[in-house]
Every structure is written in structure tokens, then in C-alpha cells.
Amino acid sequence: MLEEDALNGRVSSRRQGHVLIITMARADKRNAIDRHMADALDRELNLLEGDDELWAGVLEGVPQAFCAGSDLTAGGDYVTERGGEYGIIRRARSKPLIAAVEGPALGGGLEILLSCDLVVASSAAVFGLPEVAIGVVPTCGALFRAPQIFPVNLARELILTGRPIGAERAWQAGFVNQLTPPGEALEQAVLLAERICENSPTSVQACLRAIQVTLDAGTRAGWEATEDAKEALVGSEDSQEGVRSFLEKRKPVWLGR
């Protein structure tokens, strides 16, 4: 059964047994997330959480890109009540969510992956946090989740250089659970979800909640630190120049203030 977002076509989903496969399909914008897309993702994740016949979810993008993060023209209007940023970043989930990644996952796209439970990626995938290149900071959890999940020095490299890494390096670092040939990430992610669904859903959900409680111990401090980093840049000339130069497709001229 296919359930589509009739309003905008940005997100669709289909069921495969006990697995809900969610597809971000705003290919012309490399799956950059705006208000409509956040609401559609929120709806699908609410379905995953609320339907007792769904035991696991798979989230995929398009071959051109998993997700390019925030649509800068949205002006930050992509927060939902239940899921937070993009409908997913601050969501409390009890069912496993596996990401299937074929193309680049940059900025908020990587922060979505940091919010998932498992990552299956093709060798063509790329991961990065380019925010410093436009004079802003990662605001959707990467400042504390990346050092939790990546080796700390690799997290620093991603955050401070803004340069992406390839799937092979992400796999070697333990971030990617399975590395596949191009075009096979979704298939392998669904197989992984189905393997999870061979187990007791009650046990799986209890285990996932226990893991999350442990990880969330430092989450409040992480969000507070992220807010401090954001506040340090509010109104700065560099942040204004960075975003302006990105939209104008030119190299920024930094002033250091």
C-alpha cells in the first residue's frame, strides 16, 4: 500500500510486512526540508509510532541526495510539535528507524542520520557538516551527537573543517552499519529491518528505550550548548555574509565579526 503526501509529493511511504519505508522525494531541492516536508515526515513518523502492526521503519532519500538539510528559504520554519526540527530531530521513538543512504547527507541531512538508530549506506554516500563554511553552526544536534557517535577527533574534523567524508571512512569509523554497492542501500536496509522484526517487538522497543535513556542523559546539556553557539552568531556579519553568499553562489568574504 502506498500512502502519499497529496499536497506536495515531498514524502511518500509504503508498508512491507511490519516495516514502514519512508521516502523523501524532493529531488529538485536535494531533499532540503521546508515546512511542508517537515509536516509530511512528522506524519509518517507518527504513523510508525502509533500503528501496532509497524515494528520498524526505513528512511531513504533519492539517488541524487539523502538530504541537504534545511531549506534556507524556509527561515527556520520546519519544527513540529512532536518531532522537533524536521519532524525527527527531537522525537522520542520506541521503534527502530534505519536510514538508507545513497547520495550526500549534508548539514541537517547528517543530523537526521544522527537521530536514526542504524545507517546503511552505499559507497556513493557522502557525509558532512558544512555549516562553518557559510558562517553558521549545526543546530539540529550534531554538536553533541556527532562526538557521541563518531570518534571525537573525526567529529571535530567534520564540524570544524566543514569538509565531508566518504562512506568508506564513515563505515570504518563505525557510523555506517552496512556498506553496500551503489543502488543497494534501500534493499539492505529493509533486510536489516526485517531481521529486527524477527524478534519480539516488545523486547526490541524496551531495549531501544533503555539505550535512549542512557544517551539522553547528556542531551539537555547538549541542546543548551547548541543554543549558546547559536546565540554567539546572532546578528553577526559573518553569518549574514555566509548565508547571502551561499544563496548567491559565490565565495564568502569573512570579516571575523
Q: Which residues are catalytic?
A: 111, 131
242 touches 134 (CB < 8 A): yes
Phi-psi region of 69 (alpha: psi -120 to 50; beta: other; left: phi over 0): left
What is the DSSP code (8-state) at residue 54? -
Long-range contacts of 8-17 (CB under 8 A, 24+ apart): 8/36, 8/37, 8/40, 10/36, 10/37, 10/40, 11/37, 11/40, 11/41, 11/43, 11/44, 13/44, 13/47, 15/54, 16/190, 16/194, 17/194, 17/197
Edge-to-edge strand ranges of the sheet holding 178-180: 2-4, 11-16, 19-24, 56-60, 97-101, 118-122, 178-180
Spell out a b/e string for 211-230, using b for 16 or more CB atoms within 10 Å of the CB, else e: eeeeeeeeeeebbeebeeee
Rounded CA-CA distance 46/101 in Å is: 22
For residue 213, the Cα-to-chain-centroid distance in whole angstroms is: 20
